[in-house]
A and B are shown apart, each in its own frame.
Chain A
């Protein structure tokens, strides 16, 4: 039976270890793949994702760079234009703001000028840190999902972390790969060896009939918790993990909402002009009318995340605001 075979081929490892495995396997498979970033080598990455890779592959393929994000982004673009498959690391996703010009103006639009793309991955920590706050808690997924020519990925489970990172490295386009900070220690079953999760495919984590919770990253766990709370109250919630934000799995979103007629979108990042606006547009653009109740957005409130953990918890998406949204959908 395939289930037995799959069982023997998986182990329980952390999200961090799954990412490490993806990098190691892709570097073993393809010597064009190399890593660069601040502290990726000796320290093994600020989140420990590249531990052991300097020792295995040497400093020519695991480069500890100066603190120079613009140069890291440019080096990824230029090396990718020249036939390599760079994987750059940023410390926090607010550092993507330093890199943004090169990503948008040089990499994402390259094909129009040259007929070629820049196949690279920029990956790093994104979103809220439970223990402390400030600008390093911001999530910039929507900024980059806005850009034609980029792909934007945000895994929620260890298996998806591995499968999506391997797919991102093999993809012929620049990919922004966002690793939400609370997830690094999450454990789960991960297939050994070749395991690819295609970019642009959402996954139904729980099937339900009354409400669709479309979510991404660490908010998947908040949605799963909400599904259990509301199940006890007789409300059947479908949890859809978007996994990729660009390309967005419009088909999966429409299939789910065709069934439930009710949609709430849960994500980090500011609400206005955010991920939820695009997801809701997928079901409101037609041709058929799918929504039977006004769609709900649960993102970061439209202000800057306070540094205080106690205050930040109020401004970030949380259980109380998810419950309020589901309550409004049930009207």
Chain B
């Protein structure tokens, strides 16, 4: 694995904040998985990021709250790190009214404007070209905001990604493209369909910087992102950051995941990004086991409260005038 830039070393406060966020993503998604399997309340498709949490945490920590981000289809960590309401998320997972997307948009992919999270779809690679347009507007309007577009390794094979990268490079967009390379497109190993070891090598063909980091090392992700975001904000154009990782479970909760070798899955568990940061912090004397358990307990309380609130909300119901309720048009006209 190559690291083209040294990145920036996060300090104690940043590391402690990232620890809390890792615990939040791990606990929230584990609870979603548990509820989905128990068939309690949950509707829809869940693309869990368990095992990959350090990428969302490192990426989001390198951004300001004004910056914008388009997650990958495995992007719940981004929603959580950007402060999306747990109650709002659970409400939609339970098919109840008033939550994220309000049942109109696939819940794992819904836009959250107040958290700077852009809408995405199940059309892989599409988020990159749309994010390019958002980045173009930031440049045009001189907002100083940076846009991050995240992709899985599978999505990098799409035509969208080539065109999106060409366009971002051409227009020197204030943008960072992040690849979450977990090694598999559903059942298909990335190494069986791609002839480069590091997807970041493709950046050279677009004339932009590319870097590959250990995606289970949250400090490494953060460091690479700080450099890339600084470059984007300075008007020097986009960077491609590849983060190598491995998902603990199947592609979705419905994927039986029988094709990935057990030895790989066991190795991934040993390389757990949450435990790695915990070990580092304990080693430095900044965190005790009791402190860590306190973080876990606090997050579990928040999740339980969110569930309790969400189940009290009414089930989603359509009214009588469906075409009015789901009208896709605006009546507005520019003056």
Closest to B188 in A: A64
Q: Which residues of A contact B318 (CB under 8 A)?
A: 310-311, 314-315
B322 contacts the other chain (CB 8 A):
yes
Known: A38-B188, A64-B192, A307-B106. A314 touches B159 (CB 8 A): no
CA distance A311 to B154 in the complex (A): 31
List which A295-331 residues lie within 8 A (CB) of chain B: 301-304, 306-311, 314-315
B298 contacts the other chain (CB 8 A):
no
Q: Which residues of B contact A70 (CB under 8 A)?
A: 158-159
**Contact indicator per residue, chain B 151-183, by CB within 8 Å of chain A (1) or not (0):** 000110111000000000000000000000000
B106–A133 touching, CB < 8 Å: yes
**Contact indicator per residue, chain B 102-125, by CB within 8 Å of chain A (1) or not (0):** 011111010000000000011110
B328–A67 touching, CB < 8 Å: no
Q: Which of A39-47, A117-125, A186-194 contacts B (4 or more CB under 8 A)?
A: A39-47
Q: How far is the CB of B247 from chain A (nearest CB, A)?
A: 16
Q: Which residues of A contact B214 (CB under 8 A)?
A: none
B323–A302 touching, CB < 8 Å: yes
A126 contacts the other chain (CB 8 A):
no
B106–A314 touching, CB < 8 Å: no
Q: How many positions in chain B have a CB within 8 Å of any CB in the partner chain?
A: 38
A134 contacts the other chain (CB 8 A):
yes
Q: Which residues of A contact B105 (CB under 8 A)?
A: 134, 306-307
Q: Which residues of B contact A98 (CB under 8 A)?
A: 123, 158-159
Known: A38-B186, A301-B323, A309-B43. A69 touches B158 (CB 8 A): yes
List which A40-93 residues lie within 8 A (CB) of chain B: 42-43, 46, 64-71, 92
B2 contacts the other chain (CB 8 A):
no
Closest to A94 in B: B123
A67–B192 touching, CB < 8 Å: no
Q: Which residues of A contact B317 (CB under 8 A)?
A: 310
CA distance A314 to B104 in the complex (A): 12
Partner of B187, one of A39, A69, A303, A306: A39
B95–A308 touching, CB < 8 Å: yes
B95–A42 touching, CB < 8 Å: no
A203 contacts the other chain (CB 8 A):
no
B123–A301 touching, CB < 8 Å: no
Q: How far is the CB of B330 from chain A (nearest CB, A)?
A: 13
Q: Which residues of B contact A306 (CB under 8 A)?
A: 103-105, 326
**Contact indicator per residue, chain A 164-189, by CB within 8 Å of chain B (1) or not (0):** 00000000000000000000000000
B234 contacts the other chain (CB 8 A):
no
B328–A310 touching, CB < 8 Å: no
Known: A132-B44, A310-B95. A39 touches B188 (CB 8 A): yes
Q: How far is the CB of A308 from chain B (nearest CB, A)?
A: 3
Q: Which residues of B contact A314 (CB under 8 A)?
A: 318, 322
B193–A307 touching, CB < 8 Å: no
Known: A307-B105, A308-B95. A136 touches B122 (CB 8 A): yes
Known: A42-B187, A43-B186, A310-B95. A304 touches B157 (CB 8 A): no
B185–A66 touching, CB < 8 Å: yes
Closest to B106 in A: A134
Known: A66-B157, A306-B326. A134 touches B109 (CB 8 A): yes
**Contact indicator per residue, chain B 80-95, by CB within 8 Å of chain A (1) or not (0):** 0000000000001001
B297 contacts the other chain (CB 8 A):
no
Q: Which residues of B contact A97 (CB under 8 A)?
A: 123
CA distance A39 to B157 in the complex (A): 14
Partner of A64, one of B158, B193, B323: B193
A135 contacts the other chain (CB 8 A):
yes
**Contact indicator per residue, chain A 139-165, by CB within 8 Å of chain B (1) or not (0):** 000000000000000000000000000
CA distance A71 to B185 in the complex (A): 16
A301–B106 touching, CB < 8 Å: no
Q: How far is the CB of B184 from chain A (nearest CB, A)?
A: 10
A131 contacts the other chain (CB 8 A):
yes
CA distance A71 to B162 in the complex (A): 13
Q: How far is the CB of A185 from chain B (nearest CB, A)?
A: 14
Q: How far is the CB of A193 from chain B (nearest CB, A)?
A: 31
Known: A132-B106, A308-B104. A301 touches B326 (CB 8 A): yes
Q: A67-B124, A136-B122 are in contact. List 9 more A-B contacts (CB 8 A).
A: A64-B188, A66-B193, A98-B123, A132-B45, A133-B106, A134-B106, A303-B322, A303-B326, A303-B327
- B residues at A contact (CB < 8 Å): 43-45, 92, 95, 101, 103-107, 109, 121-124, 154-155, 157-159, 185-188, 192-194, 259, 315-318, 322-323, 326-328
10 A-B pairs with least C-beta separation: A308-B103, A66-B157, A134-B106, A43-B187, A303-B326, A66-B193, A314-B318, A132-B44, A307-B106, A67-B154
Could you jot down 16 A-B contacts, CB within 8 Å? A39-B185, A42-B187, A43-B188, A46-B186, A66-B185, A66-B188, A67-B155, A95-B123, A98-B123, A98-B158, A132-B106, A133-B106, A301-B322, A303-B322, A307-B104, A310-B315
